[in-house]
Amino acid sequence: MTVPNPRTPWEALTHRRFLLGTWPWQALGHLLGTCLLVVAVAPLLGLLALPWLVAGSRLLVASSPSLGSSLAMTVLGAGLLAVGLPLVAVPLAALERRRLRMVDSRPVHSGRPRPSTEDRWRQLRTWYGEMATWREVAYAVLLVTVGPFLCVVGFGTLLVPVLFLASPLLVQRGGAPVILGFVSVSSTPEALGYAALGLLLLPLAAYLLALLAGAHAAVARALLHGGHEQLRAELVEVSRSRARLVDAFEAERRRIERDLHDGAQERLVSLTLRLGLARLDLPPGSTAHRNVVDAHEQAKQLMAELRELVRGIHPRVLTDRGLPAALGELADRSPVRVAVRADLPDRLPTHVEATAYFVVSEALANVAKHSGATEVVVTARRDGGLLTVEVADDGRGGADPERGSGLTGLADRVAVIDGRMFLSSPAGGPTLLRVELPCSQITPPSA
């Protein structure tokens, strides 16, 4: 398949007009730059490694009396190499990222924040603790060790067809046999044959140069591109912000529950008592008595509904006594017989308890409405840093998230705290709903 706008030499190789474009020249320019960098960087790394190599060689031939000093010199040389390599590798990596644009148009960056003028020394100290720095060191070592081989192969590939093309001119000017690799050419007709062969080999050399440049670019991008580290940092920040949102949401739920419980519900209880007293003071059978009786009954019904609303927002028992007691209360209120098996000796993080509670509450509501079950078993256990909650019923099964049974909402609620939900509900039953919630940190419940 041909790529419309190639970004790398490997993608450009699929184009029929590859030889007529700029990619062969870009690959050649990149190869020339690689050779110049090898010549410039190899002496620097050699100077850094020289004390360690000398100390290591002395250690190999050292006698017992001088063994300690040779070992100390080896350790010192290794320390100098470890300290000095990043000082060479990091600037080299910055240059290579710019040079990579010759053969790879995709953006590439280190993933490090750009330091300000005031904290450059601090940034220099943090280099040694960053994984990106040691990947750049690995690239510098590869450039010095594998780079010469790359240059020899690349220029050897290019030199052979060029010599073949120039062989007729060389034979005419020199008058003596010309050595072309493993053959000797002494006449112009013979040289013309090799020139024709060189003309055929020249496009092949262009393709091989593009392959070498593509391989070099792939290795450079793998070691020098810090996009995955930046993405990891962004994902960590997203996870932290999501955790903050969950905590803020739970805190707001508890505030609303407290305001309703301590404010509106208390005033409604007071109103119900006053209506009850007024009901006793009015003569039975009168119009006023009937109106007060109706108002009293409506107030009691409203108080029951408000109590259910408060319990649905954030049950007080969950805050005060934890998840096992809250699950027991759900079982008592369920119209289906529910057995609860919750062995949780420690309190869990508040958002984990709240999520588990509302998952079980919604699951029991779905069982009562849709399953026709006669018995439900709720199990909650903590294994290491994972809370596992299972709701199993003996109903008719066939639960499907696409039919609006609330399962999609449960999955979304679980995913908010990086949990997972599993459902097994074959036609005819039984149904098993299982959620796994990470809870690596044990925290006391919020007041």
pLDDT (tens digit per residue) in 177-219: 666 666 677 677 777 877 888 788 888 888 888 888 888 888 8
How far CA 434 is from CA of 381, 387, 390, in Å, comes to: 11, 10, 4
Number of structural domains (the chain) is: 3
Residue 156 forms part of a structural domain: yes
Contact 201, 161 (CB under 8 A): yes
Which CATH number belongs to the domain containing residue 379 in this structure? Answer: 3.30.565.10
Average pLDDT on 311-320 reads 66
How far CA 4 is from CA of 7, 14, 379, in Å, comes to: 10, 10, 57
Q: Are residues 393 and 364 in the same domain?
A: yes
pLDDT tens digits along 32-69: 988 998 888 888 887 777 766 666 666 555 544 455 55
Q: Residue 337: is it exposed, middle or buried by C-beta count within 10 angstroms (0-12/13-18/19+)?
A: exposed
Q: Are residues 21 and 122 in the same domain?
A: yes
pTM for this entry: 0.48
Q: Which is more confidently placed, 180 or 420?
A: 420
Boundary-marking domain end, from 313, 337, 366: 313
Q: Mean pLDDT check: name the lowest of 15-19, 23-27, 38-42, 189-193.
A: 189-193
Task: Compute the Cα dihedral for 407, 418, 112, 109 and give only its sign.
Answer: negative
pLDDT at 415: 79
Q: Are residues 158 and 46 in the same domain?
A: yes
d(CA 10, CA 365): 58
Amino acid of residue 122: R
Q: Are residues 260 and 204 in the same domain?
A: no
Percent residues over pLDDT 90 in the chain: 0
d(CA 243, CA 320): 22
How far CA 372 is from CA of 168, 328, 334, 408, 431, in Å, comes to: 95, 21, 13, 21, 11
Residue 160 forms part of a structural domain: yes
The tokens for 89 are 């590798």
Residue 128: domain span: 9-225
- Which residue, 101, 128, 100, is CA-closest to 112? 128
